[in-house]
Structures are given as C-alpha cells and as structure tokens.
Amino acid sequence: MFYVINEKRSMSCDFEENLNLLGAIENVTGLEVSRIINNTHLCSETTEKIILDSMDFTKKFCEISKKEYGFSCIEEKFYNNLVNEIDKPYKVKIYNKLDELI
C-alpha cells in the first residue's frame, strides 16, 4: 500500500500529523505502507519551486517513518523542466473542475 503525501494539504503539512495519519491508516486497514508517494501541489497555484521544495520534506518523512520513497508526481506542464531535478519523477495530468469554473 502507498501513502500519498501532500505537504500543502492542511491535514498533512507536518511530520507528526503524517505519522499519525499513516499509523491510523495502517491500523484500520491491517496493511503496511510500503512506499511514500510525494504528490505535493496547490492545484492551479502549483509552481516548480513548490514541487522542488517538497522533496526535502518527503525525504525527511521517509527517514522518520522508516518507509521507502516511491516517486514524486509531477504535473505534465512542469515535467520537462523538473525531470532531472526530482528523484523518480512520475508525470501526471491533474484535473480540477474548480479551475474550469473560474
């Protein structure tokens, strides 16, 4: 099972909250998290800097939680600029209906 982390999400913006949430998920499901996935973003306000800065948080969380780093989700519009800057980048397309309404 993967644990997906978004450093910019209010419920998972620090190490303690993430450790508590990860532990609760493992306890409720009876499954063990095998990888940490970095999916830090702010929807349409995401920048390359936000993604790059999230790597330190994610790697430190992997150390603290004793879980292996899996990969980092990189929105396709940033992928070419970050592919050589991010450890194990994974290109994703983010759909956000709110963006379509604005």
The tens digit of pLDDT for each residue in 41-67 reads 888 888 999 999 999 999 999 999 999
Phi/psi class of residue 9: alpha, beta or left (left: φ > 0; alpha: ψ in -120 to 50)?
A: beta
The tens digit of pLDDT for each residue in 24-40 reads 999 999 999 999 999 99
Q: Domains in the chain: how many in total?
A: 1
Q: In the prediction, which pLDDT does 93 show?
A: 86
Range of the structural domain that residue 56 is part of: 2-101
Q: In the prediction, which pLDDT does 15 show?
A: 92
* DSSP code of residue 83: T
Tell whether the model's pLDDT for residue 97 goes beyond 80.
Answer: no
